[in-house]
Amino acid sequence: MEVGFLGLGIMGKAMAMNLLSNGFKVTVWNRTLSKCEELVEHGASVGETPAAVVKKCKYTIAMLSDPPAAISVVFGNDGVLEQMCDGKGYIDMSTVDADTSSKISKAITEVGGRFLEAPVSGSKKPAEDGQLIILAAGEKALYEEMLTAFSVLGKKDFFLGEVGNGAKMKLIVNMIMGSTMNAFSEGLALAGRTGLSPETLIDVLGLGAVGNPMIMMKGPTMLKSNYSPAFPLKHQQKDMRLALALGEENALAMPVAAAANEAFIRAKSLGLGDQDFSAVYEAVKAEGLKQ
């Protein structure tokens, strides 16, 4: 199977690499073209523009940072739409809101193309290990044609119906993740303030129901102030913002998520946007010191 791949950030690079090592022919493009080099060493071809990739490939996957990036790669100069035509499939795996996804879907299908949104849950390591959870929605037949690729990229896929449902599910999952990370950060900070050992807190959590995989994996690195990015904090804040907008559209107040979003915004203003999202712990500690 030959696929195009647009966006070689933390996730896209790992996903494209997985496809290559499982026998797919992959043509890659990235805004910063130098990031294609490592993939080329592993057998990928390079498309000069998103349009060139779509021209060459029947199926093109995108993994881009946020709604403006997803929109610009489709609608911009030399963008996806310029070569989209009958029978070609576009699979957007970026985390965006349902409106962005619907706008892209409409434009692609209006020129005869086929669209699937397929955001993923799981971070850098699951992407490297082909263990993502894929939340697909859109054209069912295209979903079925992509199952071979999804079985390489993920451990489980869900087909959730109409365009927008994958985006919504992903934002809800990440809203829970961001809120949990904040509660955990406050717990670590409070343990420290009260003279308890944060390391012991993690041990205690690990023995009970509250010690989820995220806490157990991130806790020890947070205590070492190691925030090497697996999931960049700026993307987690984007997801909180989009989830809060989804809450507003559906008349649901989400004060816990709103408070977590504020903490991520504070962390960004401390220059932590490109660090791992667990760096919100630094913002929690800094805020605590002010009081």
Q: Decide: is 69 part of the binding site for ligand NDP (CB under 6 A).
A: yes
Least gap, CB of 117 to ligand NDP (angstroms): 12
Q: Of 52 and 172, which CB lies nearer to ligand O=CC(=O)O in the complex structure?
A: 172
First to last CA, the chain: 58
Name residues whose C-beta falls within 8 Å of residue 92's C-beta, 6 or more positions apart in sequence. 61, 62, 64, 70, 101, 104, 115, 116, 117, 118
Contact 121, 93 (CB under 8 A): no
Whether 170 is a known active-site residue: answer yes
Give contact residues for ligand O=CC(=O)O (rule: CB under 6 A): 95, 121-123, 174, 231
Measured at the CA of 259, the angle between CA 165 and CA 164, to 5 degrees, comes to 10
Least gap, CB of 153 to ligand O=CC(=O)O (angstroms): 13
Q: Of 105 and 123, which CB lies nearer to ligand O=CC(=O)O in the complex structure?
A: 123
| Residues from 208 through 237 that contact ligand NDP (CB under 6 A) | 230-232, 235
Site string (89-128) toward ligand NDP, x via CB under 6 A: -----xx------------------------x--xx----
Q: Is 196 helix (H, G, I), strand (E, B) or coil?
A: coil
Residue 194 binds which entry of ligand O=CC(=O)O, ligand NDP, none, CB below 5-8 Å type-dependent: none
Contact 230, 10 (CB under 8 A): yes
Among the listed residues 61, 126, 124, 125, the one whose alpha carbon sits nearest the alpha carbon of residue 94: 61
Q: Of 49 and 95, which CB lies nearer to ligand O=CC(=O)O in the complex structure?
A: 95
Q: Of 139 and 276, which CB lies nearer to ligand O=CC(=O)O in the complex structure?
A: 276
Least gap, CB of 239 to ligand O=CC(=O)O (angstroms): 7
Q: Decide: is 32 part of the binding site for ligand NDP (CB under 6 A).
A: yes
Q: Of 174 and 182, which CB lies nearer to ligand O=CC(=O)O in the complex structure?
A: 174
Name residues whose C-beta falls within 8 Å of residue 148's C-beta, 6 or more positions apart in sequence. 1
The single residue of 103, 170, 218, 238 carrying the catalytic annotation is: 170
Q: Decide: is 11 part of the binding site for ligand NDP (CB under 6 A).
A: yes
Measured at the CA of 122, the angle between CA 120 and CA 128, to 5 degrees, comes to 100
Among the listed residues 135, 142, 72, the one whose alpha carbon sits nearest the alpha carbon of residue 107: 72
Contact 58, 88 (CB under 8 A): yes
Q: Decide: is 169 part of the binding site for ligand NDP (CB under 6 A).
A: no
Name residues whose C-beta falls within 8 Å of residue 135's C-beta, 6 or more positions apart in sequence. 118, 119, 120, 121, 157, 158, 160, 166, 169, 170, 173
Catalytic residue numbers, as ranges: 170
